[in-house]
Amino acid sequence: MKKYMTLACLMAMAMTAQAQQQGGISAELLNQLKQSYQNTPADKALRNAIGSNDIKKLVVNQENQQAFDTHFSIEVPSKGITNQRSSGRCWMFTGLNVMRAKAIAKYDLPSLEFSQVYTFFYDQLEKSNLFLQAIIDTAGQPMEDQTVQWLFKNPIGDGGTFTGVADLVMKYGLVPKEVMPETYSSEHTGAMSSLLKQKLREGGLRLREKSAKGAKPAELAAYKNELLGTIYRMLTLTLGVPPTEFNYVRKDAKGNPLETEHHTPKSFLEKYGDTSLLTDYVMVMNDPTRDYYKCYEIAYDRHVYDGMNWKYVNLPVEDIKQMAIASLKDGNRMYFSSDLGQMDSQRGLLAMNNYDYASLMGTTFGMNKKERIMTFTSGSAHAMTLMAVDLDEAGQPKKWMVENSWGAESGYKGHLIMTDEWFNEYMFRLVLNTKYVPEKVLKVFRQQPVQLPAWDPMFAEEE
């Protein structure tokens, strides 16, 4: 027996050696690789510099540090910069900021900020229900099923998309920020989110156990509702109690009180918000990995179980630009989302040549937008409010500007300015009122969408 074991070990060692020769790093290859670093004075200087400094500070492109033009030929301003702080609620801040700009202009208000924590409360409650009901719906599938695994990996989060804004606002209305202000947990969502995930995953397992033992739908629904009661209490403890009615003092442009109005969240939405969010808006996308002029839908990419999945029309970037310009010319801001590659956050400039990693590392980083998406390098990560464009004499865009939600001290007075070249490479999503969307695009939007799985790498929540 020992003889056979010795032979088996020798064979295994031989197979391992053969595998290393075929695809592993052999001693010969390692010696070859070592030649890529020669320890020349230049190499040593670079190693010393990189070893003692933040790489990003070392790659600042000095040729791009000159002052940049902040004039825009078309700009739709608003009053006041918001701050999502340490949370992933950019999608919500952006959607609410688009609406508040319209209300400020319509009623000549000195300022207005909708309560983000009010909408966030119901976002977290609805996402909890979405997860638990999805667990019931998939209870017959094995735990190894990809959809079931995805659900347990992603029971809840604070990120999202415009469809969440539309569904939540239309279902629960709006309140002004002074009626339900931010809390520590709304501005620092990490601990709260961790607890909610843990409770939901536990509840999801119990639902699957009950289903496996033959529980009837009514019993599963009753247990789900019990779990939602626990979630509701956790949300009130961390975020506060959502108001059902309140008084709002409307002021003139100089801040003088004009009228005290009594509202419910729904009546406040009707007067100061936008009640057409579910009917009059289209999301367009620039994703060069998929066919243009087609409609796509993402499974489970919604905030409300009985709401809308995220649906969009994929278009060339030049088509999207023309619609965006038409909207801005008409005084309407837009929900906009992008990657944040090459962002100079201190100056508030998004440009292709802000940082020169290639020269520091002595190599190239040459993937285009399609290749970055395919390799998980780039994707839509952050939502902001598109509010300005600068056009040349031929009417073509030179640069764009967005209102961010990182506070007034961030970037360029709370804004980010992007070159048109950067826009081409890192812009992904835009939400437009249907009146700025050509009929041929609307026809595509009305078609039966191609459904993509929830785990598609391009469609992570915006934070």
Element (H, E) at 121: helix 116-137
- Residue of 263, 303, 382, 415 marked catalytic: 382
> b/e string for 177-213 if b means 16 or more Cβ within 10 A?
bebbebbebbeebeebbeebbebbbebbebbbebbee
Active site residue 188: no
Catalytic, 303? Answer: no
CA distances from 92 to 95, 99, 115 (A): 5, 11, 10
Residue 436's nearest CA partner among 281, 274, 315, 207 is 281
Pairing mode, strands 281-285 and 427-433: antiparallel
CA distance linking residue 209 with residue 207, whole number of Å: 5
Could you tell me which residues are beta bridge partners of residue 242? none
For the record, the structure tokens of 103 come out as 């209300």
Cβ atoms within 10 A of the Cβ of 138, count?
A: 18
> Quick one: 386 exposed, middle or buried, by C-beta within 10 A (0-12, 13-18, 19+)?
buried
Q: Is residue 90 among the annotated active site residues? A: yes
Return the amino acid letter for 73: S
Q: Measuring CA to CA, which residue among 387, 110, 103 is closest to residue 269?
A: 103
Q: Are 284 and 326 in contact (CB under 8 A)?
A: no
- What b/e sequence results for 2-12 when a residue is b if at least 16 CB atoms lie within 10 Å of its CB, and e otherwise? eeeeeeeeeee
Of residues 90, 97, 286, 354, which has the active-site annotation? 90
Q: Where are the alpha helices (DSSP H) in 240-375?
A: 265-272, 317-329, 357-361, 369-374
In whole angstroms, what is the distance from residue 361 CA to residue 136 CA?
51
Closest CA to 130 of 229, 213, 211, 204: 204
Q: Which of 129, 314, 332, 404 is catalytic?
A: 404
| Catalytic residue positions, numbered | 90, 382, 404
